[in-house]
Structure 1
Amino acid sequence: MSNNTSNKIRSTGELIEFLADASISPEVAALRPDYRALLIAVDGITPAPSDAHSEQLLRNAEEVARTRLGKCAVTDFPHIAAWREAYHGFGAKPSRTRNSAEALMRRAEKGLPRINRLTDIYNSLSVTYEIPFGGEDLNAYVSAPQLVRATGAENFATMDKGEPVTEHPEPGEVVWLDANGVTCRRWNWRQCTRTALHDDTTAALFILDALEPVDDVELRAEDDD
């Protein structure tokens, strides 16, 4: 599926076809045989700023985080610990580049950012379920997402000191990409600017990442929410 530059909303069949073309490379599967990804593609979203509903979800998530963090350190949460181990597995330092669920959980104790309704909702779910949950602009994708171990030659569009720059992942790093380059580095650490959600996003791709001890029932529960 190429960029959708028209205002036409994709059919359910087109969304299913796009998701069916997504893949996880054998090298990633060998690194973490317990890894599962749940991908959700949605079109026809009505863009909106943060509102009362998303505010309440964030407040609830913040309270959940404070309660859990009052009982043990975030690094002792079973799923967070599994992700830290996974980061070690491909050579990343999990205390320097944290998985997205851990990063949000740490921020939640003092207060989560308010960005827009769509981002606020998935951030609240990520904290509540302790699962890395990414959201991207589906219209920016030029092909289905692939999860691979990088060669190091792939391009990653990001910002540095307010200026657009192109970086490259480390060889062996786990990355999501499409035909135009890396969309997310270090599995779920940092998204590229090209596919980032914006206030006017009308089509989105959501990626939920799970390792043991999270089972398929728990992963699907977040999908239902």
Structure 2
Amino acid sequence: MVRLTIDDEIKRLVPRFKIGAIAYPSIVISKSPQMLKGRIRFYQEELALQLESNDLKSYPGISEWRNTFKLLSIDPGRYRPSSEALMRRVKKSEFLPSVNSAVDLNNFFSIRHHIPFGVYDLQQLEGDVLIRLGTKEEHYLGMNGRENQMEGKLLSSDEKGPFGSPIVDSKRSAVTEATTQALHLIYLQPSMDDEECEQLLQSVGKMFTQVHGGDYHCSIVT
């Protein structure tokens, strides 16, 4: 299991900040099976109907992560948590395109639980992982196809530097059909208790390995 820690500055600003981590030591990623794509599409259609009459901020995960960004001096109107960005697309019936089985499930988990999720190729990471705020010099090519300046943004980093964020992840750590080991980072709501967190991680790990094989190892980092 990768050693994961949270920077003291984040814990000072958000005392109940916590991250869920799930390691998958041996998986097989492929194009999403038709059954999985159908289930995810059906869920998005149901969610789009709900969002016609529900404001995004009425979802506790969305509102709590917007508030967490504010506590970290990140403008959630300018830099949206990835879960909110995905749900805004669904609200406009811009259903999420299929990428591969791991990315599709990751996005499904994010809109299902209304919190940011990130899944990363463990073999592209080096050393321990630290959750912290970015510095002025830090940037990376993101999954949005742009060079993203990471100053002041919440991010995950290894010995090479930043590789992920609940805003946008880097291409360096992206999972592909060649990935055989992965790390899931789940940006848990600070208000969740340990039992809720554990239930969520076990549910995610079980479903992910049902699709990709192998086993999983969970931890909650505070």
Superposition TM-score, scaled by structure 1 size: 0.80
1:70 alignment counterpart: 52
Relative to structure 1, is the Cα distance of residues 215 and 68 closer, same or farther in structure 2, using a 3 angstrom cutoff?
Answer: farther
CA distance in structure 2 between the aligned counterparts of 1:221 and 1:65, rounded to whole angstroms: 22
Would the aligned equivalents of 1:61 and 1:108 in 2 still touch at CA under 8 Å?
A: no
2:119 alignment counterpart: 135
**2:118 alignment partner AA:** G
CA distance in structure 1 between the aligned counterparts of 2:144 and 2:57, rounded to whole angstroms: 30
**Any gaps of 5 or more consecutive residues in structure 2?**
204-222
CA distance in structure 2 between the aligned counterparts of 1:71 and 1:219, rounded to whole angstroms: 29
Shift of 1:135: 0.6
Higher relative contact order (CA 8 A, sep 6+): 2
**1:90 alignment partner AA:** L
**1:143 alignment partner AA:** G
Q: Alignment partner of 1:82: what SS?
A: helix
Per-residue CA deviation, residues 43-76 of structure 1 (Å, 9 max, x unaligned), is 2211210212321331243144224313421123
Superposition TM-score, scaled by structure 2 size: 0.81
**Any gaps of 5 or more consecutive residues in structure 1?**
1-15
Per-residue CA deviation, residues 83-117 of structure 1 (Å, 9 max, x unaligned), is 11122223322122110111111222311221111
Q: How many residues align?
A: 201
1:35 alignment counterpart: 17
The answer to whether structure 1 residue 169 and structure 2 residue 150 are counterparts is yes
CA distance in structure 2 between the aligned counterparts of 1:50 and 1:56, rounded to whole angstroms: 10
Relative to structure 1, is the Cα distance of residues 82 and 143 closer, same or farther in structure 2, using a 3 angstrom cutoff?
Answer: same
1:9 alignment counterpart: none
**1:57 alignment partner AA:** R
CA distance in structure 1 between the aligned counterparts of 2:17 and 2:59, rounded to whole angstroms: 17
1:222 alignment counterpart: 200
Would the aligned equivalents of 1:61 and 1:125 in 2 still touch at CA under 8 Å?
A: no
Tell me whether 23-32 or 87-96 shows the greater mean CA deviation. 87-96
